Amino acid sequence: MILPLDFILILFVFICAVAAITIKDLLSAVVILGAYSFLMCLLWTEMAAIDVAFTEASVSASIGTVLMIGCVAKTKRRSKD
Amino acid sequence: MFEFIVGHYNYWMYVGLMMIGFYAMMAKRNLIKKIIGMNIFQSAIILFYISTSVKKGDVTVPILEHAHDGHGAHAVDIMHYANPLPHVLMLTAIVVMVATLGVAVAVTIMIYRRYQTLEEDEIIMSIRRG
């Protein structure tokens, strides 16, 4: 584990998490959530958990993002808060 | 005290991420924002479990480089490998995470078809009006 890389990745993860819940456009929020999942996957690769990392990359960062984009396409794109 | 706080920095990180997700689940009115908060919450818990498997020093991924030495004896030093038990537990948690996400998305689409909105307060108003 490399400590400065760990801190930089955690900083980006925090930025993505805050941006995903504050942005008003739901499609942008969902895409930022996909970026959050991919950064989390990088964090786990750096923590020597490669099996968890590629499961996260295939299941959560791709299938989860596709499911959420389908949900936004079936419903409304604008959010009030 | 200071060394305790700095030495357990992964605990503070995961508590911060978890509170971001919890705030989104509690305070946001949009249903998709609530689902995003639930996703962040679950990722934070998985991050905490994975961070407990990290060891100091030159630690590699838990894959054996050579199972036997030249004489047929086992030569494995576990201090050179990360602890694989939290990894295996959290693989199941990731699959459960995407399953709950699918169910939540399906329920959200059904609610939108019934009430034509995704805002929680408008749905409650529509239910009270009958």
User: pLDDT-based confidence at B80, cuts 50/70/90?
Assistant: confident
pLDDT of residue B34: 94
Distance separating alpha carbons of residues A48 and B80, to the nearest angstrom: 11
Domain count, chain A: 1
What's the mean per-residue pLDDT of chain B? 87
Distance separating alpha carbons of residues A16 and B123, to the nearest angstrom: 29
Which residues contact residue B55 at a Cβ distance below 8 angstroms, ignoring those fewer than 6 apart?
A: B79, B82, B83
pLDDT of residue B66: 67
Residues 90-119 of B with CB under 8 A from A: 90-91, 94-95, 97-98, 101-102, 105, 108-109, 112, 117-119
Range of the domain at A61: 23-74
pLDDT of residue A73: 94
Could A76 and B28 be called an inter-chain contact, meaning their C-beta atoms sit closer than 8 Å?
Answer: no
Mean per-residue pLDDT pooled into runs of 10, chain A (81 residues): 86 94 93 94 90 91 93 90 79
Q: Is residue A31 part of a domain?
A: yes
pLDDT of residue B70: 66
What interface predicted TM-score (ipTM) does this complex get? 0.93
pLDDT of residue B69: 65
Q: Which of A24, A60, A56, A63 has its CA nearest to residue A41?
A: A56
Q: Is residue A17 part of a domain?
A: no
Q: Is residue A1 part of a domain?
A: no
Spell out the domains of chain B, with CATH numbers in brackets.
2-55+75-129 (1.10.287.3510)
